[in-house]
Amino acid sequence: MATLGLSEAERESIERFQRDVVEPSMTSLVILDFWAEWCGPCKQLSPVLDKVAEDYAGKGVKLAKIDVDQEKMLASQFRIQSIPTVYAIHKGQPVADLTNYRSEGQIKKALDQLIAQLKIEPGGATPQAEIEPLIAMAEQVLADGDAVRAVSIFRQVQDMAPDNAEVTGGLVRALIAAGETAEAKTILDGLPDELGKKPEISRAKAALEVATAPKADTAALESRLAANPDDHDARFELANARMAEGDRDGAADALLDIIARDRDWNEGAARQRFLQLLEAQGLADPWSSAQRRRLSALLFT
């Protein structure tokens, strides 16, 4: 915005705009509200915007207001013809016109879409692009079997991104692999509801369920099955015991055997346990994909 030939008041106005709108918008989403003291609809909308800005402060959203009577030059630059006029500003540019959204629900829905599309990070959060390589490294270390080192890496990344579900889920799975199931459970139990619903956390919960499956005397269970192959209770206990031993193939085989013999046994308990085993492994994992094909072959042939 050119400043040549401007009055001192206009220069100050531009400086305030730069400080309160442009600079914050470089990393945040700024709600810019054009209003006036005499404007009735402005007074109705103002507390709604205040409430939304307060609720979304932790999501990287800020609120700035411009009195069109006091800041005539800025209003002219934005070609404001009626008020209230509300824009969303990011990186110094308008990215959405929020003027027609007057209720809290409408505004929040629009902001949620913008935050997702523009990848707005919460204030002070480490950008996702910076932590993704570290997450990938920790996952690789975990996959290679060094659970203790994976825990250490995930802890360091969590210090950078404490509310990242991918990081928290990875830390929990690493702790489980390292035998620290008590700490893993404590972390999961302490998560806020919103974070606890994320798929990365669901996978961690499934991993904990699998890891804490009850152990049993597998020899005795196999003897029961030799005497009665349709003893589904024994086969289900055997699947749990295989899980507890870390034998995912043995667990999957036992559960699929139950499904093949009686897919509705115990209200589909074997199928539910089987899907939990896949989720713990990771649904995108090649092993899980192969097991899903085995399940589909049973169910649809």
Q: What is the DSSP letter of 156?
A: H
Q: What is the dihedral of CA 106, 107, 112, 118, to 10 degrees?
A: 130
CA distance 172 to 187: 7
Stated length of the chain: 301
Please give the Cα distance from 87 to 268 (Å, whole number).
52
Write the CA distances from 230 to 33, 208, 225, 260, 271, integer angstroms: 70, 29, 7, 11, 16
195 is catalytic: no
In the set 14, 29, 30, 39, the catalytic residue is: 39
**150, 134 in Cβ contact below 8 A?**
no
Residue 300: how many CB atoms within 10 A of its CB?
Answer: 6
SS3 69: coil
39 a catalytic residue = yes
Query: Rounded CA gap, 265 and 279, in Å?
Result: 21
What residue type is assigned to position 22 of the chain?
A: V
Kindly give the interhelix angle for 128-143 and 147-160, rounded to the nearest 10 degrees: 170
Indicate the pairing of strand 29-35 with strand 61-67: parallel
- Alpha-carbon gap, residue 254 to 195, rounded angstroms: 33
Residue of 29, 42, 74, 172 marked catalytic: 42
Instruction: List beta partners, residue 34.
Output: 66, 85
Q: Mind telling me the catalytic residues?
A: 39, 42
